[in-house]
Structure 1
Amino acid sequence: MPQQDNLSGYNSTVSDPSVFFLSGIPGLEAMHLWISIPFCSVFTVALLGNCTLLYVIKTEPALHKPMYYFLAMLATINLLLPTTTMPKTLSIFWFNSREISFTACLVQMFFLYFFSSMESGVLVAMAFDRYMAICNPLRYVTILTNSVIAKIGLAALTRSFLFVLPVPFLLGRLPFCQSHVIAHCFCEHMAVVTLACASTRINNLYGILVTLLNDGLDMTLIFLSYVKIIRTVFSLASKEEQLKAFGTCVSHFCAILMAYTPMVLTTIIHRFDHQVAPYVHILLANFYFLFPPMMNPIVYGVKTKEIRDKVLLLFRGKNV
Structure 2
Amino acid sequence: MKALAWLLLCAVLLGGCGVQTQTADGKRVKIGIMLSDVGLGDQSFSDAAFLGLSKARDELNIQFDYREISETGDYEKGLVELVKQDNDLVVGLGFMVQESLEKVAKMYPEQAFVLIDSVSDVPNVVSLTFKEEEGSFLIGALAGLKTKSNKLGFIGGMDAPVIHKFGAGFKQGVQTVNPQAQIVEQIAGDFGSAEKGASIAAAMIQSGVDVLYPAAGLTGVGALKEAEKQGKLAFGVDSDQFFVAEKAVVSSMMKHIDMAIYLIAETLVKDGKLSAKQMELGLQEDGVGLAEVRVAALSDKEKERLASLKQDIISGKIRVNKK
Same fold (TM over 0.5): no
As a proportion of its length, which structure holds more strand?
2
As a proportion of its length, which structure holds more helix?
1
TM-score tier, shorter chain, comes to under 0.3
- In the superposition, the TM-score normalised over structure 1's length comes to 0.26
Structure with higher Rg: it is 1
